[in-house]
Amino acid sequence: MDPREREVRRRMRENELYLDFGPGLEVLEEERIHGKELADKYNRTSARDSAGRTRLLQRLFAHVGKDVCVEPPLHVAYGSNTSVGNDVYMNFGTTLVDDSEIQIGNQVLIGPNCTLSTAGHPIDPELRATYAQFSSKITLEDKVWLGANVTVLPGVTIGQGAVVAAGSVVTANVPARVVVGGVPAKILRHITDADKEFTYKPPKDL
């Protein structure tokens, strides 16, 4: 491995600033291209070809559990830095910016047009103009549900059984068994035994 590549990979793991292109980083660039090519192939599959879709996901992701369903289109930075557990459903338009690791647990539901972004940039404009970035692992623990159009930012862990309301931006770690929502997301309430009895509640009037 080129020493420049080794140093960048270390920085990616350690949440330090790095550039992911340039001399000595050709392998990283090829990994990104390969992931995007596989995602593009996946996005052109037929809904009837579940076996073919499964094979492509197994090539794309670091790990894929049983009974995983991903609705196209799917977008990735690498793909190979994402691990997916059993019984996972990702709706249309999932974006996985997996410059760092994304860990998705078992029985996770991801609504339409959600983004999990492990990568970010410095606030200082001069530093940002160098194209420097950082990345930090995202974890969705078992039985998490992300509503439509949720964005999860770098370094966030969402605890077991938590629900994230549609349209939320998650900037901080979420405890287990809570409902969060908003921009940035805040705890709205805890999930209790009362939630085992489902009753549809229509929207209130504004």
Domains and CATH numbers, the chain: 3-190 (2.160.10.10)
Q: For residue 12, what are its two tokens? A: 């990616």
173 DSSP 8-state letter: -
pLDDT for the residue 199: 87
Position 201 pLDDT exceeds 90: no
Sequence letter at residue 56:
L
Q: For residue 130, what are its two tokens? A: 């160098």
For the segment 173-188, the average pLDDT, to the nearest whole number, is 99
pLDDT for the residue 1: 86
Catalytic (active site) residue 121: yes
Catalytically annotated residue among 34, 63, 121, 190:
121
> Residues 139, 176: contact at Cβ < 8 Å?
no
* SS3 call for 26: helix
pLDDT for the residue 145: 99
